[in-house]
Amino acid sequence: MKKGFNPSSWIFPQPAIVIATYDKDGRADAMTAAWAGIYDTNKIGIMLDHRHRTMENIKETGAFTVSMSTMETMAESDYFGTVSGNTVEDKIRKAGFHTAKSEYVNAPVIEEYPLTFECKVEKLIPEGEDFHVVGSIVHILAEESVLTDGKPDPAKLRPLAFDGVNGTYMEVVRTVGKAWKEGRKFVK
């Protein structure tokens, strides 16, 4: 028997991503978000509250980076999502992390994250007072330590997913099947 629930954002898994931006004075800021994903080929979509400093910075610069939170960066990533850049200055440095300017967009790259997408704002879609941000991925940076055969390997990356139902992080690593192959048994 199934149990009914009120509507909620219980899609599993939700990636725990870190969005990094510069403000109008070139100061780096970061926030963790879970309401994000692939919007279209080579595009990332993120739902952001209008009150976030990150949203203000994205409107100002037209650019951002998205990094995958990992097991190794869980505490820092959680910190970036716990404190507001509107009240805490230099969160990245306080977490012991470092930034470099992206070569492709006007946004910082947080050096400690092994997989980072450099994005240029393509669309800002108002949703009430908030925004659905669509960014075109213009470049991807990946540490060689997380690559296998020249491609990112989830087992090496050890990305985190956010479980919004229980307020926890989950490690996503185990391969259980091959996409576009497992269902072939139903094809005649």
Question: Roughly how many angstroms between the first and final C-alpha of the chain, as a whole number?
Answer: 33
Local structure of residue 1 (DSSP, 8 states):
-
Domain that holds residue 123: 14-186
Residue 140's contacts (CB-CB under 8 Å, 6 or more residues apart) are 115, 116, 117, 118
Tokens 């450099």 sit on residue: 118
**H or E element, residue 92:** helix 91-94
Percent of the chain with pLDDT over 90: 84
State CA 82 to chain mean position distance.
15
pLDDT higher than threshold 90 for residue 174: no
In a domain, 44, yes or no: yes
| Total of domains in the chain | 1
In a domain, 3, yes or no: no
In a domain, 7, yes or no: no
In a domain, 9, yes or no: no
- The whole-chain average pLDDT of the chain stands at 94
In a domain, 165, yes or no: yes
- 120: domain CATH number is 2.30.110.10
CB 92 within 8 A of CB 64: no
pLDDT, average across residues 171-181: 87
pLDDT tens-digit series, residues 25-80: 999 999 999 889 999 999 999 999 999 999 999 999 999 999 999 999 999 999 99
* Residue 97: per-residue pLDDT: 98
Closest-CA residue to 173 (of 185, 188, 157): 157
pLDDT, average across residues 117-144: 97
* Residue 172: per-residue pLDDT: 82
pLDDT tens-digit series, residues 135-155: 999 999 999 999 999 999 999
CA–CA gap between residue 132 and residue 49 (Å, rounded): 9
pLDDT tens-digit series, residues 77-105: 999 999 998 899 899 999 999 999 999 99
